[in-house]
Amino acid sequence: MGKPKTVIEKIWDKHVVHHEEGRPDLLYIDLHLVHEVTSPQAFEGLRMKGRKVRQPHLTFATMDHNVPTVHRNVIKDEISKKQMDQLQKNCTEFEIPLADINHKHQGIVHVIGPELGLTQPGKTIVCGDSHTSTHGAFGALAFGIGTSEVEHVLATQTIWQSKPKTLNVKVDGNLGTGVTAKDLILAIIGKFGVKFGTGYVIEYTGEAIRNLSMEGRMTICNMSIEAGARAGLVSPDEKTVDFLRGRKYAPPETEFDHIASEWLELATDEDAVYDATVEINADEIEPQVTWGTNPSMCIPINGNIPNPNNTDNENERNEINHALDYMGLKADTPITSVPIEHVFIGSCTNSRLADLERAASIIKGKKVNPNVRAIVVPGSQSVKAAAEEQGLDNIFKEAGFEWRGAGCSMCLAMNGDIVPAGERCASTSNRNFEGRQGAGARTHLVSPEMAAAAAIEGKFVDVRTLSVPTA
C-alpha cells in the first residue's frame, strides 16, 4: 500500500506530463470547455503565431454569456453578435465541436458539461470561466483560467500549475427541510470568508455532502471560487456514477461498469491527510440571504442586517458601511422587512431541472407579487425541454413568471437582462458584487426556493413558514 491520497492528489498524479523540483508541473488537460467571451483573443493569438488546436476533440464550445433569452435570433447588440459569430468562425476554422445558439445542447457551459456526460470523475477540466469549479461535483479537478491560459491549452493541451494545497471542508449533520445546498455554501462562505480557499483546492466531505444530490453538489462546488478556491470537488460515489450512466458522451454501456469502478477508486483514501480542515455542522444552518456586496455578507433569514458599530476593526467597519450604502440598507433591520422588485431564477449555480422543480413547488397555484418582475432562465436547452415536458413552464407562467430561453442571463447581465440601478433582486446566482446585475443594481443571493417565495411575497420570507404542497 502506498501513502493514502486525497482525490485531488490522485487526479493530479495521473496528469503530470513534466515535473521539475521547485517549478510548476506541466499538467495534461482532459477537457477544455470554451465560450464566446474569454476565447476570441486566444484564437487570435493562435492565428498570429500560425498555431493549431492540439486536440480539438478534447475541446467543446458553446455560447452562453451573450445569448438573448427572448427572441434568441434577434441579437440587437451588434458587439454581442460579433462575439458569437467569431466563436462560430473559430470553431469551424479550428475544428472544435460547438453547440451554437440554436443547437439542442446549447446552454450554460457548466450546465451542459455534466448534462452531456463530458464531465467525468478523474478528468482535469478547464474553461475560461471562474465557475468551472462546478464540475468538481463529479470528482473532477476543474478550474477557471484566463484567456492566455485558454490559448496555452488550445495550443498544447497542457497547463503549468503548481500543486495546490488541499483543504477539507467537512460538513457533518444534515440540512433541515427547506434548507438547500445554496444555503450551505453561503453559510460556509459567511463563516470562513471570501478568501479562506485562496491557494487551495477544496474537497467537500462529510455526511451532509454525501447526502446531497449531484445537483446540490454542483451548487456547492460552483461557489468554491467565491471562497477563493479555484477548484472544489467531491469524491465520486455511486450517485456520481448513476448520474453519468447513459449520458451522450459518457463511456458506452459495454465499458461503463469497468470505467465506473476506476472512478470509484479515485475517492479520497481513509487516512489521507489534508493541508487544512475546517468544519461546519449542517444541522445549524438556516436559509441564507446575502445583504451586502460579496457572498460572505450573508445572514440567516431570521437575522438582522449587521451594524458596523459592532466591530472594532476599522477596515471591516468601512466595508460594512460601504456595502450598506451601496445596498441602500439600514443596520439592525430584519432582512424579512426588505422589499424586492426583481427575482432571477437561473445561472450556473441554480438553473438545473431539480432547481426549477423545487422553485415551481413553492409557487404552484400562487401569484407573483404585483411589485415584482420575476424571470426563470433554464440552464440549458435540455433543461428547458425537460421542464416543459413536466409542465413547469405553465406553473411559472401562470404564477406570473417570465419563462425564458437558456443562458447566463441576469447573473452577469451581459445579454441585456439587467436589473436597473437602485432596484433590488432576489437572485439564485453566485455573485452579489456591486454592479454585477447592472450598474447600481442591488443583488441578494438566495436559493431557488427562497427566490420563489420572495417573488410571491414581494419581500424575503422564510420558505419554511410557507405552506407547501407535499410532492
Sites for another protein among residues 208-227 (CB under 8 A): 225-226
Q: Which of residues 110-139 bind another protein (CB under 8 A)?
A: 120, 123, 128-130
The CB-of-175 to another protein minimum distance in angstroms stands at: 27
Indicate which single residue of 136, 144, 287, 346 sits in contact with another protein (rule: CB under 8 A). 144
The CB-of-258 to another protein minimum distance in angstroms stands at: 10
The CB-of-51 to another protein minimum distance in angstroms stands at: 7
Q: Which of residues 306-365 bind another protein (CB under 8 A)?
A: 315, 319, 322
423 binds another protein (CB under 8 A): no
Q: Quickly count helices (H) and strands (E) in the chain.
A: 15, 19
264 binds another protein (CB under 8 A): no
Amino acid of residue 245? R
Indicate which single residue of 412, 426, 452, 454 sits in contact with another protein (rule: CB under 8 A). 412
Place of cell 462546478: 134
Place of cell 470505467: 259
Helix (H, G, I), strand (E, B) or coil at 381: helix
The CB-of-37 to another protein minimum distance in angstroms stands at: 5
194 binds another protein (CB under 8 A): yes
The CB-of-276 to another protein minimum distance in angstroms stands at: 15
DSSP string, 73-135: T----HHHHHHHHHHHHHHHHHT--EE-TTSTT-B-HHHHHHHTT---TT-EEEESSGGGGGG
163 binds another protein (CB under 8 A): no
56 binds another protein (CB under 8 A): no
The three-point CA angle 421-424-429 to 5° equals 105
Query: What is the C-alpha to C-alpha distance for residues 156 and 12, in angstroms, rounded to an integer?
Result: 18
Q: Pull the grid cell for residue 109.
A: 457551459
By CB under 8 A, which span of 206-214, 250-258, 283-291, 397-405 interacts with another protein? 250-258
Is residue 141 within 8 A of residue 11, CB to CB? The reply is yes
Q: Measuring CA to CA, which residue among 57, 35, 27 is closest to residue 118?
A: 57
290 binds another protein (CB under 8 A): no
By CB under 8 A, which span of 51-59, 276-284, 338-346, 349-357 interacts with another protein? 51-59
Amino acid of residue 461? V
Q: Which of residues 2-21 bind another protein (CB under 8 A)?
A: 14-15, 17-18
- For another protein, the closer of residues 369 and 432 by Cβ is 432
Is residue 106 within 8 A of residue 380, CB to CB? The reply is yes
* Residues listed for the chain: 471
- For another protein, the closer of residues 123 and 424 by Cβ is 123
Rg (CA), the chain: 22
Query: What is the C-alpha to C-alpha distance for residues 88 and 78, in angstroms, rounded to an integer?
Result: 15
- For another protein, the closer of residues 137 and 413 by Cβ is 413
- For another protein, the closer of residues 80 and 428 by Cβ is 80
88 binds another protein (CB under 8 A): no
341: phi then psi, degrees, rounded to nearest 5:
-115, -15
Indicate which single residue of 173, 308, 440, 458 sits in contact with another protein (rule: CB under 8 A). 440
- For another protein, the closer of residues 157 and 290 by Cβ is 157
- For another protein, the closer of residues 319 and 398 by Cβ is 319
The CB-of-123 to another protein minimum distance in angstroms stands at: 7
Q: Which of residues 228-247 bind another protein (CB under 8 A)?
A: 228, 230
Indicate which single residue of 62, 69, 134, 157 sits in contact with another protein (rule: CB under 8 A). 157
Indicate which single residue of 70, 93, 421, 465 sits in contact with another protein (rule: CB under 8 A). 421
By CB under 8 A, which span of 279-287, 343-351, 357-365, 412-420 interacts with another protein? 412-420
Q: Pull the grid cell for residue 105.
A: 445542447
Q: Measuring CA to CA, which residue among 48, 228, 43, 250 is closest to residue 138?
A: 250
How many residues contact another protein, by CB under 8 A? Answer: 74
- For another protein, the closer of residues 119 and 235 by Cβ is 119
Q: Where are the alpha helices (DSSP H) in 174-284?
A: 181-192, 207-210, 214-222, 238-244, 253-264
Sheet holding 442-445, edge to edge: 402-403, 373-376, 342-345, 424-427, 442-445
31 binds another protein (CB under 8 A): yes
Is residue 432 within 8 A of residue 298, CB to CB? The reply is no
Q: Pull the grid cell for residue 439.
A: 450598474
Query: What is the C-alpha to C-alpha distance for residues 14 and 35, in angstroms, rounded to an integer?
Result: 27
Indicate which single residue of 158, 349, 369, 381 sits in contact with another protein (rule: CB under 8 A). 158
- For another protein, the closer of residues 65 and 105 by Cβ is 65
- For another protein, the closer of residues 82 and 330 by Cβ is 82
148 binds another protein (CB under 8 A): yes
Question: Alpha carbon of 49 to those of 44, 45, 52, 54, 278: distances in Å?
Answer: 9, 6, 9, 14, 46
By CB under 8 A, which span of 355-363, 408-416, 451-459, 462-470 interacts with another protein? 408-416
- β pairing state of 141-144 and 288-290: unpaired
